[in-house]
């Protein structure tokens, strides 16, 4: 019995020491995490950057520059609009980039980012396959085609499907719809929502529509999307229907082609930055023109030139098929093969043939 007590006592003491040691270790780790978290919060504060006082920080916040990332990817010209000199703007941008350690990333880090990409169901399984699983976040998806080819129909369907839970092909989020051609119709949203068995009025609450009247207004609305997201709105999809309509009317003739393309380039970069920063899906429609010098093949070509072509990924051409069907053809993508998909437009929205 004595031997048993002698053996139990040191064993109990060892266990106690191990527990105390483990507890102290956990407390130290928690303190370290709190310290790192506090340090990180301090580093990420915009007003801590050189040249940014309380007043400037407030102006930047109102302009949508609430994080270091938004400042790091900005240009000096954009920040001078908030009352700072170009030299100060460059200091702010450089300081933001240094804090974020912007540079090369390893493959495993890029893999983690790729795992964050989500996709919205289009209503057609064939079209989903064409798009690699649906309209994805972090990218600008362009659909171009002639009138009545299905561009706006898909925009209306996505406005509803994005609100579905993830297990049903949605993202459980809301949508911002920039309407440049007066194409948005509440009746169409009602038909699609009821076809999915959703409460029409609840669906409408998650759709915010803005009518753009010129290209400057369109660009301003795109820049304001960040404000909605930073204010707590769970935006998962931004739609512009159509992207080039107002640019086409505001700038006419070859003499205005250069300024139009410069503004368009800035607009596209704003949209891509929005997609990258907030992991939202950008869906845009585009008009087409006919090439009279083309004697063979389809003379249809999207407007916007090379500037627009380089900024879209993926780019899909829509056209009418036989017996009321629609054909979607993958024209350009950095990761998807060229292929075609067949779908139809019904009262419920977009469906497979």
| pLDDT score recorded for residue 2 | 45
Sequence ranges of the domains in the chain: 46-100, 112-352
| pLDDT score recorded for residue 5 | 44
Query: Buried b vs exposed e over 257-272: b needs ≥16 C-beta within 10 Å?
Result: eeebbebbebbbebbb
| 126-153: pLDDT as tens digits | 999 999 999 999 999 999 999 999 999 9
Query: Buried b vs exposed e over 77-89: b needs ≥16 C-beta within 10 Å?
Result: ebbeebebeeebb
| pLDDT score recorded for residue 7 | 44
Same fold flag, 46-100 and 112-352? no
46-100 belongs to which homologous superfamily? 5' to 3' exonuclease, C-terminal subdomain (1.10.150.20)
Cα-based distances in Å from 173 to 61, 64, 286, 319: 24, 21, 24, 30
| pLDDT score recorded for residue 40 | 42
Please give the sequence-ordered ranges of beta strands (E in DSSP) within the chain, or none if there are none: 119-120, 135-136, 140-145, 174-179, 207-211, 235-241, 281-286, 288-290, 300-302, 315-320, 325-332, 340-346, 349-352
Residues 169/134, Cβ–Cβ less than 8 Å:
yes
> Euclidean distance between the first and final Cα of the chain, in Å?
84
| pLDDT score recorded for residue 21 | 66
| pLDDT score recorded for residue 314 | 94
Domain 112-352 in CATH 3.40.50.300:
yes
Residues 312/318, Cβ–Cβ less than 8 Å:
no
| pLDDT score recorded for residue 253 | 81
Is 353 buried (19+), middle (13-18) or exposed (0-12) by CB count in 10 A?
Answer: middle
| pLDDT score recorded for residue 23 | 62
Q: Could you tell me if residue 133 is left (phi over 0), alpha (psi between -120 and 50 degrees) or otherwise beta? A: left
| pLDDT score recorded for residue 326 | 96
pLDDT tens over the chain, length 353 residues: 444 444 444 455 555 566 666 666 666 665 555 544 444 434 456 777 777 778 888 888 777 777 777 788 788 888 888 888 888 888 888 888 887 777 777 888 888 888 889 999 999 999 999 999 999 999 999 999 999 999 999 999 999 999 999 999 999 999 999 999 999 999 999 999 999 999 999 999 999 999 999 999 999 999 999 888 988 889 999 999 999 999 999 998 888 889 999 999 999 999 998 999 899 999 999 999 887 676 676 778 899 999 999 999 999 999 999 988 999 999 999 989 999 999 999 999 999 98
Cα-based distances in Å from 182 to 150, 185, 191, 192, 345: 15, 8, 18, 19, 20
Please give the model's pTM, rounded to 2 decimal places: 0.76
| pLDDT score recorded for residue 31 | 55
């Amino acid at each position: 019995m004595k031997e048993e007590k002698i053996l139990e006592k040191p064993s109990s003491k060892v266990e106690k020491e191990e527990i105390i040691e483990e507890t102290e270790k956990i407390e130290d780790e928690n303190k370290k995490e709190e310290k790192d978290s506090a340090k990180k919060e301090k580093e990420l504060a915009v007003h801590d950057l050189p040249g940014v006082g309380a007043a400037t920080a407030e102006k930047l916040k109102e302009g949508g520059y609430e994080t270091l990332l938004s400042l790091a990817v900005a240009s000096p010209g954009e920040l001078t609009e908030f009352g700072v000199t170009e030299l100060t703007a460059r200091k702010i941008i450089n300081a933001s980039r240094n804090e974020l350690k912007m540079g090369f990333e390893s493959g495993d880090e890029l893999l983690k980012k790729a795992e964050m990409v989500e996709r919205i169901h289009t209503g057609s399984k064939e079209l989903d396959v064409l798009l690699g699983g649906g309209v994805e976040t972090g990218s600008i998806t362009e659909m171009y085609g002639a009138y009545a080819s299905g561009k706006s129909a898909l925009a209306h369907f996505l406005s509803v499907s994005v609100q579905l839970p993830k297990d049903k092909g949605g993202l459980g989020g809301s949508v911002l719809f920039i309407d440049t051609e007066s194409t948005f119709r509440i009746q169409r949203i009602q038909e699609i929502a009821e076809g999915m068995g959703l409460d029409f009025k609840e669906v409408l609450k998650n759709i915010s529509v803005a009518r753009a009247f010129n290209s400057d207004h369109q660009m301003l609305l795109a820049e304001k999307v960040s404000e909605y997201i930073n204010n707590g709105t769970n935006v998962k999809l931004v739609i512009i229907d159509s992207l080039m309509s107002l640019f086409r009317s505001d700038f006419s003739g070859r003499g205005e082609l250069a300024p139009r393309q410069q503004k368009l380039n800035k607009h596209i970069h704003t949209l891509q930055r929005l997609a990258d920063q907030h992991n939202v899906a950008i869906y845009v429609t585009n008009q087409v023109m006919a090439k009279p010098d083309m004697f063979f093949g389809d003379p249809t070509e999207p407007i916007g030139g090379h500037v627009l072509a380089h900024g879209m990924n993926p780019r899909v051409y829509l056209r009418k098929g036989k017996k009321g069907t629609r054909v979607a053809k993958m024209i350009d993508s950095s990761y998807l093969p060229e292929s075609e998909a067949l779908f139809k437009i019904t009262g419920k929205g977009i469906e497979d043939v």
